Structures are given as C-alpha cells and as structure tokens.
C-alpha cells in the first residue's frame, strides 16, 4: 500500500529514540554553571537580607537613643529648676545657716569717684 518512495524513505531514516531526560542531556559544565549561578543568587539574597536587618536594627537603636536623650534632657531641666530654686533670694534668706550668722555692728562702706582701673602713665624715654 505504501508507494515505493514512502517505503524507501522509512527505511533510510533512523528510528526515533525515546527522548533522554534533562539530566542526561546536560553536560557537567552546564550543571556547574547552574550551581554557581544559584549559589551567587542565594549569597546576594542573604547579603540583602543582612543589610536590611542592619538598617532596621540601626533605626531601632536610634529611636531608643532619642527616647533616652529626651528623658535625660527632661531630667536636666528639672535639676536646673531645683538649682535655681535653691539659689533664689527667698531660699537663701530662709536658710537656717544664714539666719544663724551674726549681723555686722558698724559696717563701713568706701565710696570713691576714682575708677577701679586707672590708665598707667607712660614713662618718657631719656
């Protein structure tokens, strides 16, 4: 039933083999190339992950340091107010140690119209 051309063509063509699997088709250099590329991708992904983690941790540290700084500034303001209160005139006048001091009997005050720093007279050269 086949024509002579078809019969001759079927005899000259090689028989079709079953397809080999992907592993058999790849050579060892191609496998090595895929492994190296995969390893590079994983290493770069880990580097990006560590970088983002470092930045997030740095931000958390900065936030906690700013909070501690705010607390310290608030505490410093409170201490400055307490120092000012203790150095005020009312606090000093009411201090029992100052109250126990003796009053001067006859104070003498010096009054002078001369300035404190007098301009020096330059010596003339001979």
Give the mean model confidence (pLDDT) for residues 104-119: 75
Annotate 23-50 with b (16+ C-beta within 10 A) or e (fewer).
eeeeeeeeeeeeeeeeeeeeeeeeeeee
> Which of 7-16, 21-30, 42-51 shows the highest mean pLDDT?
42-51
Does this model's pTM top 0.85? My answer is no
Place of tokens 């941790």: 57
pLDDT of residue 55: 86
Domain boundaries along the sequence of the chain: 47-91
Of all residues in the chain, what percent carry a pLDDT higher than 90?
A: 33
Give the mean model confidence (pLDDT) for residues 86-114: 84
Q: Which residue has the higher pLDDT, 59 or 7?
A: 59
Confidence of residue 29 (pLDDT cuts 50, 70, 90): confident
Supply the DSSP string of 31-100, one letter for each residue: HHHHHHHHHHHHHHHHHHHHHHHHHHHHHHHHHHHHHHHHHHHHHHHHHHHHHHHHTSHHHHHT-HHHHT
Confidence of residue 112 (pLDDT cuts 50, 70, 90): confident
pLDDT in tens, 42-71: 999 999 999 999 888 888 899 999 999 999
Question: Mean pLDDT for the chain?
Answer: 80
């Amino acid at each position: 039933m086949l024509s002579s051309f078809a019969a001759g063509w079927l005899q000259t063509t090689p028989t079709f083999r079953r397809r080999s699997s992907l592993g058999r088709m790849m050579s060892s250099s191609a496998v090595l190339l895929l492994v190296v590329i995969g390893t590079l991708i994983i290493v770069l992904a880990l580097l990006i992950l560590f970088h983002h983690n470092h930045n997030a941790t740095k931000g958390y540290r900065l936030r906690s340091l700013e909070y501690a700084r705010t607390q310290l500034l608030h505490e410093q303001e409170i201490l400055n107010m307490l120092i000012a209160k203790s150095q005020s005139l009312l606090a000093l006048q009411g201090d029992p140690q100052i109250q126990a001091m003796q009053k001067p009997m006859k104070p003498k005050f010096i009054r002078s119209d001369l300035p404190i720093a007098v301009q020096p007279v330059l010596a003339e050269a001979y």
